[in-house]
């Protein structure tokens, strides 16, 4: 059988739950702040090197993308013309 609580006991239990939740939240915020302090102090190791090989690869991809966009645009124009005049 379920235990019957008085209003006072119920309110105290609710108050205790709320206080525990506040304490957990405060601890979580403190841990997050500490983590942010630790990670902020360490400089990023990633050095973005844009060497000649990477430059060639990027240039090649740019050309391919431009050709693909041009071909798609041309095909759309052809479809429009066929549908409009066909």
What pLDDT, in 10s, does the model give residues 22-73?
999 999 999 999 998 888 766 555 556 678 888 999 999 999 999 999 999 9
Reported residue count of the chain is: 86
* Start-to-end C-alpha separation, the chain: 80
Query: How far apart are alpha carbons 5 and 12 in whole angstroms?
Result: 11
**Predicted local confidence at residue 15, as pLDDT:** 96
Count of structural domains, the chain: 2
**Predicted local confidence at residue 37, as pLDDT:** 87
**Predicted local confidence at residue 42, as pLDDT:** 63
Q: What is the DSSP letter of 42?
A: S
Give yes or no: residues 2 and 38 share one domain. Answer: yes
Give yes or no: residues 25 and 6 share one domain. Answer: yes
**Predicted local confidence at residue 39, as pLDDT:** 83
Query: How far apart are alpha carbons 65 and 55 in whole angstroms?
Result: 15
Range of the domain at 33: 1-44
**Predicted local confidence at residue 31, as pLDDT:** 93
Give yes or no: residues 40 and 55 share one domain. Answer: no
Is the dihedral angle over the CA atoms 67, 68, 71, 77 positive or is it negative? negative
- Residue 77: is its pLDDT beyond 90? yes
Query: How far apart are alpha carbons 84 and 75 in whole angstroms?
Result: 14
């Amino acid at each position: 059988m379920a235990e019957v609580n008085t209003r006072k006991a119920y309110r105290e239990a609710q108050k205790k739950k709320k206080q525990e939740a506040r304490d957990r939240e405060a601890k979580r915020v403190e841990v997050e702040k500490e983590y942010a302090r630790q990670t902020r102090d360490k400089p990023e190791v990633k050095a973005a090197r844009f060497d000649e090989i990477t430059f060639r690869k990027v240039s090649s991809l740019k050309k391919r993308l431009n050709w693909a966009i041009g071909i798609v645009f041309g095909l759309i124009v052809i479809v429009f013309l066929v549908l409009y005049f066909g």
